[in-house]
Structure 1
Amino acid sequence: MVAEAEVVCQQSVPVLEVQYFVAKGTNVCDVVEDVVAASQSLSLSPRSFDKFHPKDLVSPDLPTSHGDVKPVQRKQDVALESAVLQFFPSLRSGSFSDIGPRRYMEDEHIRIDDLSAHLGSLFKFPKPSALYGVFDGHGGPEAAAYIRKNVMRLFFEDVNFPQTSEADEIFSGELENSLRTAFQLADLALADDCSVSSSSGTTALTAMVFGRLLMVANAGDCRAVLCRKGQAIDMSQDHRPIYQSERRRVEELGGYIDDGYLNGVLSVSRALGDWDMKFPRGSSSPLIAEPEFRQVVLTEDDEFLIIGCDGIWDVMSSQHAVSLVRRGLRRHDDPEQCARDLVMEALRLNTFDNLTVIVVCFSPHEIGDPSPPRQQRLRCCTLSAEALCSLRSLLDASASR
């Protein structure tokens, strides 16, 4: 049984205050337009997070030499760095699967929100720690089912998995090496197991969280997408033979692409298993099990992660999926319902594959849209003709003084 945990925490949202001093005779509408323009000029384009090491966060205790930085600006920078360093994700997740229009279900997935509790005291990890994975099988369900059943042994027992209490740069490097070895061992295990057909294979995407470190390993066309302040950031690259980088590697190793398929058979260029398409052990094959890695240091701007098989992404962009989940979380704050909504949306868009989605939240959304401020109602009163004459006389007398 997979151990799951749900933890709710408060998320602080930074507020930018802009003050305007309106001179006499200034048009208020012009001021409002200036404020809007200023706020637009402050918006930043999203960074690329292909590889973001923990060392990129500078501790305020370390000496720095910024001669051209004003003292006030430096204090603001230190405060920002401190806020980032103090953030730790509060993990909870939900998942949903559907056979879709296919006759057989070949998807498998794993979802562990508290990895330390699941593995026990024999393993020492930075906290929080979690493991999520999607395995999209093809050529039968055997390969995906085998990986799902044995993933804990393959990842943590058969390799020298790093153990530490700090998710620093050394840990991230060791974690990457460990996962690379685990993928290779899983590929070889599929060749040795007589219950798995040599024509059966599976793509594999895993996402692991240790402290603030998010590490994604991918072999195949499943996809992980991070939501950062509403923007979709791809945390994996689809491995398909039609893409130039994969096509070049395939052709250099003796393979060919026919109508978008590797050797006219497979729509992915990386997968575990499929040993009837791979060269003997020790030889380089066009089809490989080598994963690609992307990592990021999570901040309070990171809202959630979507992990889905290609049946989702065949009919939906990364940004579309992020926007749909974000709206759902603001309504009900339920990641499992959001995963179901993504699957239903893909079915509505006529996907032709099995469907599996995991939604991982790093902090709770505020349920419900904030109500607009109540406008003060103006009272209207009617004056008699006599009262109007008296008021006019008072104003005239005041003006003549």
Structure 2
Amino acid sequence: MEDMHFTSLNFGTSGKSCFFGVFDGHSGKRASQFARDQLAKYLEVDLQQLGPREALQSAFMKTDASFLQRAEKENLNDGSTAATALLVGRELYVANAGDSRAILCCGQSAIPMSVDHKPDRPSERERIEQAGGTVVYFGCARVNGILATSRGIGDRELKNWVIAEPEIRYKKLEPGDDFLVMATDGLWDVMTNVQVATIISGEKNAQAAAKKLTAEALKLGSMDNITALVVDLREMLADMGPSADEKNG
């Protein structure tokens, strides 16, 4: 199993933030384990000096650089996707590198909080080719005919093209935002965002929702490892009480 995940409901020096992550390893599990163990530590330190966006960006790059140092010493070629979410009060920041994915479920509707980094995504293909790489179809689009994702932690031999720089999306949470779903591609290979939102709509808690998604993905024939992390935002929003906008409304 190369999939890893991280959950902290009392994150940061104040303990008032939350941080979540899913990491899908390839060519071994060392990069995904390293990202799970280290990215949050870098982020916690960076948040003391930087805003959330800048801190997430910095933490991704530091995690990658640190793992690459180890990879050079140990001759490792492991790599990993990283989809993470930082919740500061009602402020949600999602940082993603790779083809794990995060969505916000609002009833049976889904808001994408990340876009998969696939080699044939036009902007990714252009970036790869400008850096001297190629996108070759071998079952699916692959960087230099090897890797089916175009960003991530590690991947020492493909680092010129498989970068760790995350894309970051932001949303202020509001009533009706029910669940945050973060999952590896074992789920998304067989389900659309809307299907995921529909399947878990009305579930009583995050654990039941995650189990339901995993079972459904297996039923639909997913052949990959599946990690589905579900965060029940209804509980969190209820604990926070009404926002300033709701009070004024």
- TM tier, smaller: 0.7 to 0.9
Q: Does residue 106 of structure 1 match 2:15?
A: no
Whole-angstrom distance in 1 between the partners of 2:57 and 2:113: 17
Whole-angstrom distance in 2 between the partners of 1:162 and 1:209: 15
Aligned residues of 2:107 and 2:198 also touching (Cα < 8 A):
no
Counterpart position of 1:271: 152
Amino acid at match of 1:226: L
Counterpart position of 1:313: 188
User: Which one has the bigger strand percentage?
Assistant: 2
Counterpart position of 1:95: none
- TM-score normalized with structure 2 length: 0.88
Give the alignment partner of residue 139 of structure 1, picking from 19, 27, 35. 27
Counterpart position of 1:213: 91
Amino acid at match of 1:136: D
Whole-angstrom distance in 1 between the partners of 2:149 and 2:83: 13
Whole-angstrom distance in 2 between the partners of 1:361 and 1:144: 24
Whole-angstrom distance in 2 between the partners of 1:287 and 1:363: 36
Q: Does residue 190 of structure 1 match 2:67?
A: yes
How far off is 1:196 after superposition?
Answer: 5.9
Structure 1 portions without partners, runs of 5+: 1-104, 164-170, 279-284, 365-401
Size of the aligned set, in residue pairs, is: 231
Q: Does residue 153 of structure 1 match 2:153?
A: no
Counterpart position of 2:244: none
- Match runs of 1:2-401 below 5 Å: 105-115=1-11, 119=12, 123-124=13-14, 127=16, 129-157=17-45, 160-162=46-48, 174-193=51-70, 197-259=75-137, 260-278=141-159, 285-327=160-202, 329=203, 333-364=204-235
Amino acid at match of 2:86: M
* Post-superposition CA distance 1:20-45 (Å, at most 9, x none): xxxxxxxxxxxxxxxxxxxxxxxxxx
Whole-angstrom distance in 2 between the partners of 1:196 and 1:190: 10
How far off is 1:151 after superposition?
Answer: 2.9
Amino acid at match of 1:265: I
Amino acid at match of 1:309: T
Whole-angstrom distance in 1 between the partners of 2:82 and 2:75: 17
Aligned residues of 2:98 and 2:152 also touching (Cα < 8 A):
yes
Which secondary structure state, in structure 1, belongs to the residue aligned with residue 68 of structure 2?
A: helix
Whole-angstrom distance in 2 between the partners of 1:348 and 1:197: 38
* Post-superposition CA distance 1:296-351 (Å, at most 9, x none): 00011211111000110000000001111114x1xxx1211210110111111111
How far off is 1:197 after superposition?
Answer: 4.7
Cα distance change of structure 1 residues 310 and 197 upon mapping to structure 2, 3 Å threshold? farther
Whole-angstrom distance in 2 between the partners of 1:252 and 1:148: 31
Whole-angstrom distance in 2 between the partners of 1:334 and 1:299: 18
How much is the aligned-residue C-alpha RMSD, in angstroms?
1.6
Whole-angstrom distance in 2 between the partners of 1:309 and 1:320: 15
Counterpart position of 2:242: none
How far off is 1:227 after superposition?
Answer: 1.3
Amino acid at match of 2:34: Y
Amino acid at match of 2:68: A
Amino acid at match of 1:219: A
How far off is 1:287 after superposition?
Answer: 1.4
Whole-angstrom distance in 2 between the partners of 1:311 and 1:202: 14
Amino acid at match of 2:62: L
Which has the higher Rg, Structure 1 or Structure 2? 1
Aligned residues of 2:106 and 2:197 also touching (Cα < 8 A):
no
- TM-score normalized with structure 1 length: 0.55
Structure 2 portions without partners, runs of 5+: 236-249
Query: Equivalent pairs: percent with the same residue?
Result: 38
